[in-house]
Structure 1
Amino acid sequence: MNITIQHIIDHLTTEVEFPENTVDQLITGSPSQKVTGVFVTFMPTQHVIEHAIQRGVNLIIAHEPPFYNHHSHTDWLAEDPVYNTKNSLINEAGIAIYRCHDAIHRYQPDGITEGLVHALGWSSYVEQRRPETDILSLPGGTTVEDIVHHIKNKLGIEYVRVVGSPTMICTRAAILVGFRGNGHLTIPLLQDEGLDLIIAGEGFEWETPEYIRDAVQQGKQKALIMMGHAESEASGMKMLAERMAKNFPELPVHFVGEQPVYRVL
């Protein structure tokens, strides 16, 4: 059977109720294009595209967009040399890029959160699942520092950012992937669920981090771990790749990671 890009899209979006103005779309390529191989990735970077070309892969399924804004608008980049070089490479090689963002976040459970929790080995700690977070009950005696070391070891990352005492004991935590680390989500969770710890990808620095700083100054036992956006979401795309490989055994399907975008000097 010749598998087309539309076959892949249909597989990814079956029974998904998309939000209005969804960002999920085939950004480059044609739905009728025959698929020679699939790369699943968090971000379709220049490096990932070059690697796809080298491997003869013509479909990239990415969680984030290739062109530096959430809605994949490119008019404002028409004269930009970085955009033009990348776009020309994609078009000349016949690379199709499909963005799988809203769909995977609407899987039951959220596919990105599930992937991260699984990668961390915490599936048995999940007390409740919500659309935007998993609430975890942690083993007794677990400190913030223990959790930091565990995250870095399991995900192979060099650093995270922490607010609060590294020696604080944590019994209940919420884990929020991507850009869900903002105050309107985290602050009610801390109070309503009696949490000690928020583990998040990223968020506005003047919201949750400052709330935690004030709480600590007041003598309250609260802490925050910010992992980074890609670091919190790549595991979900890796899980998607593993599942797709089982569903499409006739296709080469691989997860492709990237180096962290930031370095600490």
Structure 2
Amino acid sequence: MRTPKYALVTGASSGIGRELAELLAREGYGLVLVARRTEPMRLLAEKLQQAHGTPSVVVGADLGSPEGVATVMREVTARQLEIDMLVNNAGFGLAGSFSELPAESQLGMIDLNVRALTALTRALVPGMVARRRGYVLNVASAAAFQPGPLMSVYYASKAYVLSFSAALHEELREHGVKVSALCPGYTETEFAARASEHQGSRLFNGPLGTLGAREVAELGYRGLVRGRAVVVPGLVNRVTAWLVPFTPLALKLRITRYFNASDS
């Protein structure tokens, strides 16, 4: 019996991560599902086993904590799994003034959105390079293309993900490893509820349009296997990303601040 290829998906308990896990199960991947909440992942694993015969490993880990990535890698190593695809989807944002949002929460955003993503990629990419095959899909955001007043740390963290992913796309392609940054705009997930803990945002009301998590997942996967460095779902988001470099900084800041501000 042939050993299945495995994909490791973070933030797999809901939203885009869950949809990517389901898609990858249909594509024949075994799964390592990672998130803080284990029960939704266990239910998902049972569903995918019944529907596709998918073997799944459920790992409960807080990737924003210092031991989170180590917990995941211990499980992968103990089971001797070869990870052919890494999906770094776990992340969160917070809306509000930088000077008023809790420092611990903002630093936690960096820990999860940046540090954990980088650490997992560093842990798994050498094996892909040695096998001369593999995929890395890093979920960034349409926010990655400009600074974001009133969501400053979130926007900056996603700018890192975009830059990091594009660099690795070029660096690793000669080794048979494909890397893409998925940059969705506002998507129907739990993101807005978490991000608006301290302040709401006009952006969360979908003024620029809303895509479903399944559509975003499918577009991201398709772009990755086709070897695209950056995938921006949605026409409005693609046009906006194209216009950003040509827009004066002062105007970009004012527009972004308007959308990130509370409409109440």
* TM-score tier (shorter): under 0.3
- Alignment TM-score, normalising by the size of structure 1: 0.25
- Alignment TM-score, normalising by the size of structure 2: 0.25
Q: Who wins on radius of gyration, i.e. which is larger?
A: 1
